[in-house]
Amino acid sequence: MIVDSDLGNLDSYNARKTPVIRDDLLPENAQLIYASRNAGKENIFNRTLAIADSSSGSAWQRFKAKLCHSIPRMGIRHGTRLSA
């Protein structure tokens, strides 16, 4: 699984020494791999993460644009924070 956070703990997570969530260790058939969308694009993991980030951002913008047209009909006041 490609992740873009917690780089300092990845070795410990992958060695099943540190729980990933609560008391749960990473499953035996999984491995965490660090990538960054801001790093060199010669690395396939960095390119993949950059594409996923860009695509999700575009999808979120389209969703928000459609939602803004529905807000008055839903009774939500302008300025109400919508969670991502």
Chain segment 10-21, per-residue pLDDT in tens: 999 999 999 999
Number of structural domains, the chain? 1
Least confident of 30-34, 36-40, 79-83: 79-83
- Helix or strand (DSSP H, E) at 3: strand 2-3
Residue 81 lies in a domain: no
Does the predicted TM-score (pTM) go above 0.75?
no
Residue 50 lies in a domain: yes
Residue 11 lies in a domain: yes
Domain, as residue range, for 30 = 2-74
Contacts of 81 (CB under 8 A, 6+ apart): none
Question: Residue 77: phi, psi to the nearest 5?
Answer: -75, 150
Identify the band that residue 27 occupies on the pLDDT scale cut at 50, 70 and 90: very high
